[in-house]
A and B are shown apart, each in its own frame.
Chain A
Amino acid sequence: MCEGHSHDHSSTEEVSTVNVWDDSDRPLDDLTISRRGLMGALGVAAAAAAMAPLGAAPAGATTRVDAHKSAVNPWKPYRFHLSGDHHIHTQYSRDAMHTVEKQVSKGAEYGLDWMVITDHGGTAHQKFSVDLITKDIKTARLVHGNTAIFQGLEWNVPGAEHATVILPPHTTTPSVLKQFELLFDGTVLADAKKITNANASDGEPYAVAGLKWLADQVKSGAIPLALMFANHPTRKGLDSPAEVRAWRDAAPGIAMGWEGAPGHQAAGISTKNGGPGSGRGYYENAFDEKYSYEGYRPTATENPLRTYGGFDWATARVGGLWDSLLAEGKPWWITANSDSHQMFQETFVGGNLTAAGALDTAAYNRTGKYANAVDKGTPSTTYGDYWPGYYSRTIVSSTSKSYVTLMKAMQSGLILTTHGGIIDGADIRITTSDDLQGVTTGGRTFVTKGGTVTATITIDLASQPNYAGFIPLLKKVDLISGPITGPVKDQQTMFAPNTKVEKTFEVSQTSGQVVLTYTYNKVGNSFYLRYRGSDGKVLAANGVDPAMDVVADSDPWKDLWFYSNPVFVDAI
């Protein structure tokens, strides 16, 4: 429903004229941010500046974390709001089963403009799957010319969770992926006895080294660009705040964020309603003394190892880990994806099964691939995923339909996340008494101390039924803001206690466009702000925040949210 949607309604017709993605190899100076030496100490400001149109403030001026007078990600009516999903599995994962063609055609059917195929890293995958899937992806690109299909990897981050690695089409893409996986994938390293296992903390240095290696590939011109987004960050409590900061700081411009909302959103549907009756997102794990970070231990008031309104606790908690990262004034963006392996109530089963009916991993390990899935005609009651685009969307605002431009937009935080089609889209514009044009998400603006900052979000309310068959109604929007306090001394810092819901807007309108404006007067200190919105059906006891999702009884269609990425405001 957001496919090709433009917030500049007058230019809608232009969108349909561009229907093939540009995967041509451009001169590297046009593609490679790090090559231009812009990343410096502050990855995103430089990266976002590289996205800016001619005439914007020079990027070199934005390499300081503290206040500075420049605008990054200047607001403009972006032509392309491109829905996508950077977390999709195929028969080349040892726990998934569909062909690339099937996943892509389903994603396109459900309105996605771009997808990243991210099969799990592993020894068989590294050895066999990468080469095999390269051919499948090339074929899919020919068949689906209106859809960008990135070749990626779900990296077993050594000592931590998983992460999406995205590479653009390039002659070196398969070889870079294979080499990266061989050198830095946690499972491959464990199989080679270089680390104890994929989750053990003796692997942590490999994670940082891997990200630096990717950055070096970009810097050297071996690959135009690479991005990393951590997946399901607190599902098991493995990604400690210090690890996340280490990734971010080791490779600014590469390690850009995490899944604000994990996939597997149907996993919490009750058995009574034909679902698997697990935790939403398969977030049903317990704190594990072997691997979980101490700060994620459940308390009487909250459990970081559960989703809240379908979003990861690290993102959903106001003043929580995400906010503690943003309060440093550094970039860390969120996305929302399907993590699709096996779909809720679908009738297919894997092409290689054991006698007990499970996927035959021994067969996979021999070839790095399962035979094509087989339709048994009976809906499954144990699968907890949705097809790409069916429920979760990462909507990226891009200036063109080019692979690298889209990646650069992701790198710059031009990202909105939605569930269940709660809204069609949103345009965020933050202006100040000094910057009348303003900036949008992922951006950075400035205001003279004592001046005003005006935050405006223009929301296109849902205009058509979602894939559950109803038009969602947005009931409220929260504007969240907190001070920028600079880099933390303690890398395990996981709270930003001064970040709060600044304003809650009640929404009564049921269709069309809603414009919500809030003014910060007499601004004295640098701060950041972000938005989230909800259908208001399931809220915490305070009536504002998302509630902890109920294990075995969470209907994802009755608890819909959208989250924006932040905007930073420097008080000068």
Chain B
Amino acid sequence: MATLMSTSDSWVAFDSGITSVSRRHLEETIINHALKIELKLDWLITYQLTSGARRIAFTISSPDSDKLGQLLNDLNRHFPNFAGEYELGELVRQSSTKSTGRAVVFPLELDISTSVLAEELIKNSAIDAIVAIGEELPPGAQIQINNYLRPTFSEGKLELFVERIADGQFAPIESESPHECCGGHENEGPISL
């Protein structure tokens, strides 16, 4: 059941367990519910848990610890928790030390509806570095973002992996709507908590 972490007052972690809800819809579930209860999210980070069945866990940070606790309780009513306190505590430690994880919500003050200069993105967000896979990112590179960013932590840095696309531009390797082959295996939407 619910496991409120003690390593930081402003962080909680939860294990979504074995669920048919997709990663994207889990993320939307959390964000939608935070909006509903008027909780300001500073960070929302995803992790992979491999103890037992492969599954996804989240850490969440907010200055409002009361509402954060409410969010966690609401989540845990819907998603059975498999991970133990130690495991979840380790996730919080990794989040607070920026060691691993994938950021869904993070500090950002920039219009990312289209393309931005790589330098601008670093200057106006928590992203520390932009890494082009297999090559050096050229100076002045344009990153085509389309309102969707999922940078990842690595050794204390928040990095955005990008790849070359058409017309000399770059784009994050994670896009919001990749081709859904075969009609998809997960058709359920976000959960209303």
Contact = CB atoms under 8 A, between A and B. Distances in A.
Partners in one complex: yes
Interface of A: 93-95, 120, 156, 162, 186-187, 190, 196-202, 235, 267, 270-272, 276-279, 282, 284-294, 298-303, 305-306, 361, 384, 540-541, 547-548, 550-553
Interface in B14-49: 18-20, 22-23, 46-48
Nearest to B102: A289
Given A196-B18, A282-B181, A298-B173, A289 B134 contact: no
A200 B166 contact: no
Interface in B111-134: 131, 133-134
A272 B182 CA distance: 26
Nearest to B175: A284
Nearest first, the 7 A-B pairs at minimum CB distance are A286-B174, A553-B166, A289-B48, A289-B56, A201-B54, A198-B185, A282-B179
Chain A interface mostly helix, strand, loop or mixed? loop
Given A199-B185, A298-B173, A551-B165, A267 B23 contact: no
A550 B133 CA distance: 11
22 contacts: A94-B182, A186-B185, A196-B18, A197-B185, A267-B179, A279-B178, A284-B178, A286-B173, A286-B178, A289-B57, A290-B23, A290-B54, A293-B54, A300-B133, A300-B161, A302-B134, A305-B173, A541-B134, A547-B134, A548-B163, A553-B165, A553-B167
A291 B184 CA distance: 14
B178 A285 contact: yes
A278 B161 contact: no
Given A198-B185, A277-B166, A294-B50, A289 B179 contact: no
A9 to B, nearest CB: 42
Nearest to B167: A553
B22 A303 contact: no
Contacts of A548: 133-134, 163
Interface in B30-86: 46-48, 50, 53-57
A196 B166 contact: no
B191 to A, nearest CB: 15
A355 B173 CA distance: 32
Contact of B165 (A120, A201, A303, A550): A550
Given A301-B134, A302-B134, A303-B133, A156 B185 contact: yes
Nearest to B48: A289
* Interface hub of A270, A291, A306 (most chain B Cβ within 10 A): A291
Given A156-B185, A187-B185, A550 B166 contact: yes
A541 B136 CA distance: 12
A472 to B, nearest CB: 24
B171 interface: yes
A287 B173 CA distance: 9
